[in-house]
Amino acid sequence: MKTILIVDDDAQIRLALSVRLKAAGYEVLVAKDGQEGLKLARINWPDLVLLDINLPLIDIWMPLGVGYSVARRLNGMGRECMPIIFITASRKSNLRQAAQEVGAAGFFEKPYDAEELLTAIAKILKSAGSRKPGADAPAGISMKALQIRS
């Protein structure tokens, strides 16, 4: 069973994602902030991370969001690839580009279509075995294709 780590400071989002992912057959880990997310990732090494961009501060302020700092740390753990899908309610224009720069496998804006997110997760997990850390998004999946507009 594939494991997905949800890192989001909104309890309702964590719960909704968790219920939906468990119903789809995934094992789910949840974290309310970046510190907890990093700890769970180190211990469990999930197959994929759903990461909110606007998390509470860890130890430094990130102008675009703490989620990017968490992503850099996840990428720097030095193990096999851990795909990251960013989820955000922010409408800042440069967030998608910043997500690409840290190697994100996907980017969704809240509110998002749950079925489209599940489809993207399945595609990313299917191709993740052939990805190497720092590689571009899996074949057939582009950052633009994963954008959900409200």
- Encode pLDDT of 51-106 as tens digits: 998 876 655 555 555 666 777 777 676 656 789 899 988 887 788 888 888 888 99
pLDDT tens sequence across 122-135:
999 998 754 444 33
Tens of pLDDT along 102-119?
888 999 998 899 999 999
Q: List, in sequence order, the alpha helices (H) in 1-150.
A: 11-23, 34-44, 66-75, 95-101, 114-128
Q: Which of 123, 122, 113, 98 shows the shortest CA–CA distance to 147?
A: 113
Among candidates 47, 46, 68, 66, which has minimal Cα distance to 58?
66
